[in-house]
């Protein structure tokens, strides 16, 4: 069983069957699954996206400055983080939201040593605000947190996607899913695991990634228990 994990949640997963926004029942179900792995004694850090609230593509269509659009996305991750914190605490899981953007009224500033202390005290951590800089995705934020907090693995919980495919399964019926793939292959073939910056950070810091479908109940627990599920992206020398 993994001892410390970074769980990368798709922001779009929080909207449930809706088009945009936060669906309370969906968030509560996610919190219930996180509680199951928390009760196994696993230290959990969560990085959540903001695709349910804001997408950079909308900013582009509006003719917005890229940096401005990215900062709006970072604020969206804080909103999602607070919603997830509320859901986790409603099922009695002690949780802290930490952000690299200064929003002291609602979240703690991200400080590595403080985060480690929270882990020691048995708290689930939600890292919001992305990296704090525009032009970087929440995938990159997850890779950075995994590296500096010495996580065993990044659990990439995808919205309706079972794993890593050789081509887009939504466009190609003959797409084949990998059980395992190396990070070198991910970078060379530009497979849709995470963005290239995040993938490079994982490779340089020897961090494995497990890609799985979060919409199937029980998959989070299977992932933590290292049961065969999704696609394992392995670091290999």
In tens, the pLDDT along 49-60 reads 998 998 777 887
Phi and psi at 174, nearest 5°, equal: -95, 15
Q: How far apart are CA 125 and CA 119, in angstroms?
A: 8
Average pLDDT, the chain: 90
Residue pair 96/125 in contact (Cβ under 8 Å)? The answer is: yes
Residue positions forming the annotated binding site for UMP: 70, 131-138
Mean pLDDT to the nearest integer, 159-179: 83
Mark the binding-site residues, compressed into ranges.
8-11, 51, 55, 70, 131-138, 159, 165, 168
pLDDT (0 to 100) of residue 47? 97
pLDDT surpassing 80 at residue 72: yes
Annotated binding site for ATP: 8-11, 51, 55, 159, 165, 168
- Note whether 138 and 47 are within 8 A (CB): yes
pLDDT at 169 over 80: no
Task: Give the long-range contacts of residues 70-75, CB within 8 A, separation 24 or more.
Answer: 70/130, 70/134, 70/135, 70/136, 71/134, 73/130, 74/50, 74/101, 74/128, 74/129, 74/130, 74/132, 75/50, 75/101
Cβ atoms within 10 A of the Cβ of 192, count?
15
pLDDT above 90 (res 19): no
Distance CA 223, CA 44 (A): 13
Provide the whole-model pTM: 0.92
Q: How far apart are CA 142 and CA 60, in angstroms?
A: 24
pLDDT-derived band of residue 13, with 50, 70 and 90 as boundaries?
confident
- Which region among 9-13, 127-131, 168-172 has the lowest average model confidence (pLDDT)? 168-172
What pLDDT, in 10s, does the model give residues 140-161?
999 999 999 999 999 999 887 8
Better pLDDT: 203 or 125: 125
Residue 129 has pLDDT above 90, yes or no: yes
8 A C-beta contact, residue 166 and residue 178: yes
Q: Does the pLDDT at position 187 exceed 80?
A: no
Which DSSP letter does residue 110 get?
Answer: P
């Amino acid at each position: 069983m993994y001892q410390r994990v970074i769980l990368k949640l798709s922001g779009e997963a929080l909207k449930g069957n809706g088009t945009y926004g936060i669906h309370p029942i969906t968030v509560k179900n996610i919190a219930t699954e996180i509680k199951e792995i928390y009760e196994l004694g696993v230290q959990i850090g969560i990085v959540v996206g903001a695709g349910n609230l804001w997408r950079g593509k909308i900013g582009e269509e509006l003719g917005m400055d890229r940096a401005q659009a990215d900062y709006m996305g970072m604020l969206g991750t804080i909103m999602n983080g607070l919603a997830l914190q509320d859901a986790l605490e409603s099922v009695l899981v002690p949780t802290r939201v930490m952000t690299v953007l200064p929003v002291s009224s609602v979240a703690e500033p991200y400080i590595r040593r403080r985060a480690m202390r929270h882990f020691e005290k048995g708290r689930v951590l939600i890292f919001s605000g992305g990296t704090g800089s525009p032009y970087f995705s929440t995938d990159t934020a997850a890779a950075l947190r995994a590296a500096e907090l010495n996580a065993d693995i990044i659990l990439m919980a995808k919205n309706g996607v079972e794993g890593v495919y050789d081509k887009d399964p939504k466009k190609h019926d003959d797409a084949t899913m990998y059980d395992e793939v190396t990070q070198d292959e991910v970078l060379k073939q530009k497979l849709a695991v995470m963005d290239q910056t995040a993938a490079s950070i994982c490779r340089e810091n020897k961090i494995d990634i497990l890609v799985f479908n979060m919409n199937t109940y029980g998959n989070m627990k299977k992932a933590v228990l290292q049961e065969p599920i999704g696609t394992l992206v392995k670091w290999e020398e």
